[in-house]
């Protein structure tokens, strides 16, 4: 099975002067869920090359077994450093698409025409689409075959307003994931803040926060196997 993972290329946290990017655990945990299931993984990002890692996710206190495994995995690090440019990627040949989060996607992937093209193509072909934490931002403009927002009428989750408030970025982000999913007609549900919570509605899989990343990847695998 072939899985396309799409990461952000955006590294500026609004106008704060601080750096952002993708959340390391939200990449590493799904990556190894897929890899350990013998999946063929392709990595892509809007700009290609090395996507930015959110510095906060690389801090000592944010490390997990999966991030430590990644830091000792030269092959995975080399693959991450050479992601394909998203505009060069076609949907053909992939069985599923998955988006790790971090704040970066709120700025670039939420508005990216190539990301929108890929998601709509996967959805139209009834192939699994997954996103975790802030990555459901990618559904801001995506449409289903009926012309309505892709999440309309579907059970979805993503980073909660209260989780965003807890990290002090409610006024910094361009939009709140929870509010956007609701505005697009999604049936938004959530678990307790910072605990694993994943929803699967048809072939659409969403996870609430970093703790949900491995479980979201396992739901993608379940749809493929």
Please report the domains of the chain, with CATH numbers, ordered by start residue.
Answer: 2-224 (3.40.50.880)
Label residue 152 by pLDDT band (50, 70, 90).
very high
What's the mean pLDDT in 134-158?
98
CA distance readout (Å), 14 to 11, 53, 108, 198: 9, 16, 12, 28
Q: What does the block give as tokens for 167?
A: 């990290």
Q: Pairing state of beta strands 204-207 and 198-201?
A: antiparallel
4 and 106 Cβ atoms separated by less than 8 Å = no
Predicted confidence (pLDDT) per residue in 52-111, tens digit? 999 999 999 999 999 999 999 999 999 999 999 999 999 999 999 999 999 999 999 999
Query: What are the tokens at 44?
Result: 């892509």
DSSP 214: H
**Which pLDDT band, with edges at 50, 70 and 90, does 38 fall under?**
very high
157: left (phi over 0), alpha (psi -120 to 50) or beta: beta
Q: What are the DSSP calls for 52-84, one per residue?
A: PBPGGGGSGGG--HHHHHHHT-HHHHHHHHTBE
Give the tokens for residue 158. Answer: 């993503």
Residue (of 69, 75, 125, 77) closest to 97 by Cα position: 125
Average pLDDT, the chain: 98
DSSP, res 17: S
199-221, pLDDT tens digit by residue? Answer: 999 999 999 999 999 999 999 99
- Find the radius of gyration of the CA atoms of the chain: 16
The pairing of strands 187-188 and 2-6 is: unpaired
Task: Provide the β-strand partners of residue 205.
Answer: 130, 200
Half-sphere exposure of 175 (CA within 13 A, CB side): 22
């Amino acid at each position: 099975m072939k899985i396309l993972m799409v990461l952000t290329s955006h590294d500026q946290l609004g106008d704060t002067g601080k750096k952002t990017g993708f959340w390391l655990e939200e990449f590493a945990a799904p990556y190894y869920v897929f890899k350990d299931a013998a999946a063929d993984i392709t990595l892509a990002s809007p700009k290609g090359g090395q996507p930015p890692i959110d510095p906060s996710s690389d801090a000592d206190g944010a490390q997990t077994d999966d991030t430590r495994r990644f830091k000792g995995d030269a092959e995975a690090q080399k693959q991450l450093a050479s992601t394909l440019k998203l505009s060069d990627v076609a949907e053909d040949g992939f069985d599923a698409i998955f988006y790790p989060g971090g704040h970066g996607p709120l700025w670039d992937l939420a508005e990216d025409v190539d990301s929108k093209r890929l998601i709509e193509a996967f959805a139209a072909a009834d192939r699994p689409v997954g996103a975790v934490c802030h990555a459901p931002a990618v559904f801001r403009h995506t449409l289903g075959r009926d012309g309505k927002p892709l999440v309309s009428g579907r059970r979805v989750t993503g980073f909660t307003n209260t989780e965003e408030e807890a990290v002090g970025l409610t006024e910094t982000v361009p939009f709140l994931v929870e509010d956007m999913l609701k505005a697009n007609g999604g049936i938004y549900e959530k678990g307790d803040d910072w605990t694993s919570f994943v929803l699967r509605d048809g072939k659409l899989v969403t996870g609430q926060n970093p703790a949900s990343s491995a479980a979201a990847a396992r739901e993608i695998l379940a749809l493929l196997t």
